[in-house]
Amino acid sequence: MFKISQDFAPPFKLIAPFFIIGSIFYFLSSLYLFSFDAEVLSFSSAKILAFVHLFLLGCVMMIIFGAMAQLVPVVLEVGHFAVELFYAIWPLLLIGTILMVCGFLYSPALLPFGGTIVLISMMIFASEIFLTISKVKKLTVVMSSILISNTFLFFGVIFGLLMALSYAGTISINISALLSAHIGSVLGGYIVITIMGLSVVLIPMFTLSHSFSLKPLKIAITLMSTAVILLILSSFFTIDFLAYVAYILAIISMLTYLYLIYVIYKTRPRKENDIYAISLMYAYISMIVSLSMGALYFILHKEEILLASMWLFFFGFLAFLITGHMYKIIPFLVWFERFSPLVGKQKVPMLVDMVPPKSSQAQFVFCAVGVILVTVAILMKNNTFLDAGASFLFIGTLAFVRNIFYMINFK
Amino acid sequence: MMYTKEELFQAISTVIDPEVGFNLVEMGLIYDASSDDEGNVKVVMTLSTKACPLHQMILQWVKEAVEKLPNIKEVDIEVVWEPEWNITMADDNVKKALGA
């Protein structure tokens, strides 16, 4: 009998803070949009840097770390090395994120402190994952993706700390040279490879898809890993050619991954378009548009196109992928803890009953419209569209926070 | 034989997958069930995915569902991955409801 060890699931009280804080930072990020002037948006502005760290650290990384606490035993088929460490990860990441955002906005002197705290938080996370992986006897492609992504996280955070120290004037290094190494390691190396690995476990699980080849996943991860390594090398040795090759490989990697998702989508037996399915559709369409804009940038070299591309990648792809999965993961965790002991003894709800239907749809519609309006605002440098988009996102993300609490408190 | 395959399947059909809302039998996840005269039951089943986080819990529910039958001595559940489950193994009402 082939037995999978699934009884290492961490208690929900350990994971819940990650999701609550992540959703609040999603809301704060949308609120932050009101402070931007669409006519003078630039990657080099401290306001953009603060916004990116507010969203990526406070929302994306926070929720990914929480989800990983739950998903690592499922994917690796072994228990955590020391799951209690997650009690330390979220407070450190929270404090570090706040200090970094304040550092970018008000006082660069705060950046090394924020950066160090974020570094400690992520080192604890990466070490815990490495030690958990060390218990695995044979690595599958999905397990390998977790190992690779956490290795990139390890280096990406060190690059980030060096940049923070330099930004604050503590040490003297070329920040712009390290920038692409930092972005490539964390965004491409950690976030994207983690998403690639986990989505081939989660999406088939929820859509009941079977019998698809994992070869495209192997290709996508190999290409993305190569792209990140080339980007790091181009950063250190200032070889622009390597960077261009890296961008092309990264785009091919993402397209290969998209092909796999398309195959899973086409072969899914479960065809209902619930909030999970439509959120994922929006996420992947955003990713296609984002990649197209990214490619267009290399032809036209207009910064607003690259800004719109990154915006769609963050708030279109990452945000909708995360919110969609929250409508599956949180009901499961709450159900597992609160209702599974009652199975056979009394009537228990189905997981779908634990998702607020109207509020989740409102969240989807308002966020979806908001993302499109902000994209137009960035491309046209139009503040009216920006304020309109921010208003839609304000309502949508507020609904998301409400939905998180609804699902967590479901009785 | 103490219980027929149909009687055992009937007992197991009380176990619902909370994600999809159908019972394990109509999902086609129960491959075989048999018992001997002494009340020892053997259930051969699969799951819709190896990464199912409810793995152990579902096995426990199947065990408890069978144990509700009178005079059951022991329930042995074997989880197999061959043949791999797919939607064609489910009942028509499941396929229709899922849109497969």
Mean pLDDT of all residues belonging to chain A: 91
Nearest CB among A211, A269, A344 relative to B100 is that of A269
Decide if A276 touches B, using CB distance below 8 A: no
Per-residue pLDDT, A54:
96
Q: Which residues of B fall within a CB distance of 8 Å from A343?
A: 57, 61
Q: Tell me the pLDDT tens digit for each residue of A28-43.
A: 999 999 999 998 888 8
Q: Which residue of B has its CA nearest to A10?
A: B53
In this predicted structure, the answer to whether residue A227 has a pLDDT above a threshold of 70 is yes
Helices A141-167, A62-76: inter-axial angle, 10-degree rounding: 150
What spatial distance separates the first Cα and last Cα of chain B, rounded to whole Å? Answer: 37
| Interface contact flag, B86 A269, Cβ < 8 Å | yes
Which domains, from first to last, does chain B contain?
5-91 (3.30.300.130)
Q: Which residue of A has its CA nearest to B48?
A: A208
Looking at the complex, report in whole angstroms how far the Cα of residue B53 sits from the nearest Cα belonging to chain A.
Answer: 6
Q: Where are the domains of chain A?
A: 289-337+346-411
User: Dihedral sign, CA of A260, A265, A266, A269?
Assistant: positive
Per-residue pLDDT, A365:
98
Q: How confident is the model at residue A1 (pLDDT cuts 50, 70, 90)?
A: very low
What is the interface size between A and B, counted as CB pairs within 8 Å? Answer: 79
Decide if A6 touches B, using CB distance below 8 A: yes
Question: Distance between CA atoms of A396 and A378, rounded to whole angstroms?
Answer: 20
- The mean per-residue pLDDT over the stretch A226-230 comes to 97
Q: Which residue of A has its CA nearest to B88?
A: A269
Among A50-54, A195-199, A289-293, B47-51, whose mean pLDDT is lowest? Answer: B47-51
Q: Which residue of A has its CA nearest to B89?
A: A269
Q: Tell me the pLDDT tens digit for each residue of A330-369.
A: 998 898 888 888 877 778 888 889 999 999 999 999 999 9
Q: Tell me the pLDDT tens digit for each residue of A129-185.
A: 999 999 888 888 988 999 999 999 999 999 988 988 888 788 888 888 888 999 999
Question: Distance between CA atoms of A1 and A10, rounded to whole angstroms?
Answer: 25
Question: Distance between CA atoms of B98 and A36, rounded to whole angstroms?
Answer: 45
| Interface contact flag, B79 A3, Cβ < 8 Å | yes
| Interface contact flag, A210 B84, Cβ < 8 Å | yes
Decide if A343 touches B, using CB distance below 8 A: yes
Looking at the complex, report in whole angstroms how far the Cα of residue A205 sits from the nearest Cα belonging to chain B.
Answer: 6
Decide if A137 touches B, using CB distance below 8 A: no
Decide if A265 touches B, using CB distance below 8 A: no
Decide if A1 touches B, using CB distance below 8 A: yes
Looking at the complex, report in whole angstroms how far the Cα of residue A141 sits from the nearest Cα belonging to chain B.
Answer: 14
Q: Which residues of B fall within a CB distance of 8 Å from A4?
A: 50-52, 55
Whole-complex ipTM: 0.78
- CB count in 10 Å sphere of residue A49: 18
Interface test with B, best of A138, A141, A205, A342 (most B CBs within 10 A): A205
| Interface contact flag, B53 A6, Cβ < 8 Å | yes
DSSP assignment of chain B: --S-HHHHHHHHTT-B-TTT-SBHHHHT-EEEEEE-TTSEEEEEE--S-TT-TTHHHHHHHHHHHHHTSTT--EEEEEE--SSPP-GGGS-HHHHHHHT-
Q: Which residue of B has its CA nearest to A268?
A: B100
Nearest CB among A208, A336, A351 relative to B87 is that of A208
| Interface contact flag, A6 B54, Cβ < 8 Å | yes
In this predicted structure, the answer to whether residue A252 has a pLDDT above a threshold of 50 is yes
Q: What is the pLDDT along chain B (100 residues), one digit of tens a residue?
A: 689 999 999 999 999 888 888 899 999 999 999 999 888 999 999 998 877 777 888 898 999 999 999 989 999 999 998 888 888 899 888 888 887 6
In this predicted structure, the answer to whether residue A12 has a pLDDT above a threshold of 90 is no
